[in-house]
């Protein structure tokens, strides 16, 4: 039986993915922040439920520690959207820019902590839910102390997550663990989209189909280091392929995670 951890599974895409995988016989571990909604998902799917606030690195570590046994699939889906227009810059529990912390640092750390379990279960898959909305990441101002904007912060963090996915795929070469990322759909009817007030474009079902494919499609066995726009392989922003940038980003990330770990 395939054992899968989904972060952000109490709402939106993560919740739909949990239901779809449960129907396919996956043994699930589901994460969320809202205890009531998380319990609903756990009851419907028979999953182990772990509540954690991913804006805290300590909570990320607690989440990882609560995952026992082997792990076949990790879906890093949890995230914070643009926020309401004009929202002031916010900080995480560790004093980091909030969207950087939740959308990038949390999945980075969680993945690193769970890699031993994934390697033991190989072939295994890591799926990072990113976005087509990407902006160049400023390594010299990662906390956006200058000219903060919630949409820009979200897009920079997603670019960092994509770049990390490419690094991770290279690091895991030969282990049987693959790492891919995707833009599941554009402005699905989810809580984060409603909060941003941007309107909706794609259906939740479209995002689910694209994400589910990366988790279960046998044709993607061994495929790694790719970025997908929905169900089509695509090219991310050029910076994500820049080896020098990725090295600087990795060094920065390790210093941020290590300083607060």
Can you tell me the distance from the alpha carbon of 231 to that of 219, in angstroms, rounded to the nearest whole number? 13
Can you tell me the distance from the alpha carbon of 109 to that of 114, in angstroms, rounded to the nearest whole number? 9
* Catalytic site includes residue 154: yes
Contact status, residue 87 vs residue 137, Cβ threshold 8 Å: no
Consecutive H or E run containing 74: strand 73-76
Cβ atoms within 10 Å, residue 167: 20
CA-to-CA dists, residue 97 to 135, 136, 141, 148, 256, angstroms: 16, 16, 11, 10, 11
Which residue in 96, 104, 154, 227 is the catalytic one? 154
The catalytic residues are 154
């Amino acid at each position: 039986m395939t054992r899968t951890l989904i972060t952000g599974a109490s709402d939106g895409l993560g919740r739909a993915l949990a239901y779809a995988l449960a129907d396919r016989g996956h043994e699930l571990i589901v994460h969320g922040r809202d205890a009531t909604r998380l319990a609903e998902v756990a009851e419907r799917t028979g999953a182990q439920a772990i509540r954690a606030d991913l804006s805290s690195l300590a909570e990320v570590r607690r989440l990882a520690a609560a995952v026992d046994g082997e792990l076949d699939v990790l879906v890093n889906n949890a995230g914070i959207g643009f926020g309401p227009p004009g929202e002031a810059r916010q900080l995480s529990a560790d004093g980091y820019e909030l969207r950087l912390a939740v959308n990038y640092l949390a999945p980075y750390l969680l993945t690193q902590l769970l890699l031993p379990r994934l390697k033991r279960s190989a072939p295994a898959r890591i799926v990072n839910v990113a976005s087509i909305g990407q902006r160049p990441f400023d390594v010299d101002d990662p906390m956006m102390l200058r000219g903060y904007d919630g949409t820009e912060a979200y897009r920079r963090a997603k670019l960092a997550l994509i770049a990390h996915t490419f690094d991770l795929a290279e690091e895991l070469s030969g282990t049987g663990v693959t790492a891919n990322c995707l833009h599941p759909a554009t402005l699905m009817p989810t809580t984060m989209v409603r909060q941003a007030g941007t309107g909706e474009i794609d259906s939740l079902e479209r995002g689910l189909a694209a994400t589910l494919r990366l988790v279960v499609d046998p044709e993607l066995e061994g495929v790694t280091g790719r970025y997908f726009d929905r169900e089509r392989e695509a090219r991310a922003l050029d910076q994500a392929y820049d080896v020098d940038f990725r090295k600087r980003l990795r060094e920065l990330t390790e210093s941020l995670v290590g300083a607060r770990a």
